[in-house]
Amino acid sequence: MPKTNAFFANNLIQWYLQNKRTLPWRATKDPYRIWLSEIILQQTRVAQGLPYYLKFIEAYPSVKHLADAPESDVLKLWQGLGYYSRARNLHATAKMVANDMNGIFPNNYKELIKLKGVGDYTASAIASICYDHSEAVVDGNVFRVLSRVFSVSTPINSTVGQKEFKKLAQQLIDQKQPGTYNQAIMEFGARYCVPQNPNCDACIFNPHCIAFQTKTVNQLPVKIKAKPIKKRYFNYLVVISKNEKTILQQRLGKGIWHKLYEFPLVETSEKVNAKKLKTLPQFQEYTQNLKFESITLYNDEPITHKLSHQHLITQFWIIETFKEQHDFIPISKITKYAVPVLIENFVSEFFANY
């Protein structure tokens, strides 16, 4: 174990100053930019989130710009990043800050955590990075580093584990540079104390890391096993009129992709053929006024779109029709709507010639 908390913090910060990546949100203490970066980086790798951060800063240079944008624009810009509640909460919080707080972000943990989409981690990150408050962050990196160095085997996704690691992190934080310390331990976890095959032999902490000394690094951190993945069967009805128009619907119920757009969807409990599909009430409801000319299966082999907790086994049915209704939109306008990656991939492939 590290001899003292100061030893741990000082060495971590020293390592960080020599090894940190140059990232745009590390060049500012502007709470708008720090907040935006933290929301984008929730459950998201830096490499994946970075282009989105740059897009958002360009489109919305201030919280007021973001607040004044339509939610549909924010969702469209967020398209492809996943966990879309982040985008909806981002926009709601921007409106709150711009309209009810005079455009000024709260400057302490207690007020920050009241914002939509801001939990313990994000409130601590903003308070420490922007305002030098001693609020320890606990993200996936911190769980991993602390569980190994101090050999804590409490499951990190249990309630007691969350509290235990938070308390330990708060004991270790550098009081003089809490923001730098927080970023240092996260960077160390992301770049050095990595989940698989970390280079422990060259690690600055290996004399003090209990997991290394006891050869239990590959057993930590401990995580309670997740539930098995559920399979769902999606049938999208890609209606195409002679006038090159189609139908999109907005998802408004509970569940995935709330407020994003998709083709009319018939979900089934198993893979269906055209004959079976035509008998389903949902299919008949969608097509009753269409008088469709033909229906053909686009993808012979179903496309399996993999989410973290479910696999979407998807068939796209091409339905040609003479009739057009008020809710038809030009195919060329599909790109204006925020759609899931599953839909985006199909559209870019199938409509490449339109």
Told to check if 44 binds DNA by CB under 7 A, we report yes
Contact call for residues 321 and 291 (beta carbons, < 8 A): yes
Told to check if 83 binds DNA by CB under 7 A, we report yes
Peptide bond into 221 cis (omega under 30): yes
Contact call for residues 245 and 325 (beta carbons, < 8 A): no
Contacting DNA within 150-169 (CB under 7 A): 158-160
Told to check if 179 binds DNA by CB under 7 A, we report no
Select 215 or 254, whichever has its Cβ closest to DNA.
254
Instruction: Give the catalytic positions in this structure.
Output: 38
* Residue bearing tokens 């189609």: 246
What mask of x and - would describe binding to DNA in positions 215 to 244, judged by CB under 7 A?
A: ------x-xxxxx-----------------
Which span sits near DNA by CB under 7 A: 234-242, 264-272, 292-300, 303-311? 303-311
CB of 255 to DNA, least distance (A): 3
CB of 9 to DNA, least distance (A): 16
CB contact set of 75 (below 8 Å; sequence gap of 6+): 84, 87, 88, 259, 260, 338
Neighbours of 78 (CB within 10 A): 23
Could you give the C-alpha distances from 49 to 124, 176, 320, in angstroms and in order? Answer: 20, 29, 39
Select 3 or 227, whichever has its Cβ closest to DNA.
227
Residues 164-197: b if buried by 16+ CB within 10 A, e if exposed:
bbbebbeebbbeebbbbbbbbbbbbbbebbeeee
Which span sits near DNA by CB under 7 A: 63-71, 76-84, 287-295, 313-321? 76-84
Closest to 331 (Cα-Cα) out of 236, 248, 245, 240? 245
CB of 248 to DNA, least distance (A): 15
Told to check if 265 binds DNA by CB under 7 A, we report no
What mask of x and - would describe binding to DNA in positions 101 to 130, judged by CB under 7 A?
A: ---------------xxxxxxxx-x-----
Which span sits near DNA by CB under 7 A: 140-148, 200-208, 267-275, 281-289? 140-148
Q: Which two tokens stand for residue 350?
A: 């199938």
Total number of residues shown for the chain: 354
Residues in contact with DNA by the rule CB under 7 A: 23, 25-26, 37-38, 41-48, 80-85, 89, 116-123, 125, 139-141, 143-144, 158-160, 183, 186-187, 189-190, 195-197, 221, 223-227, 254-258, 305-310, 340-342
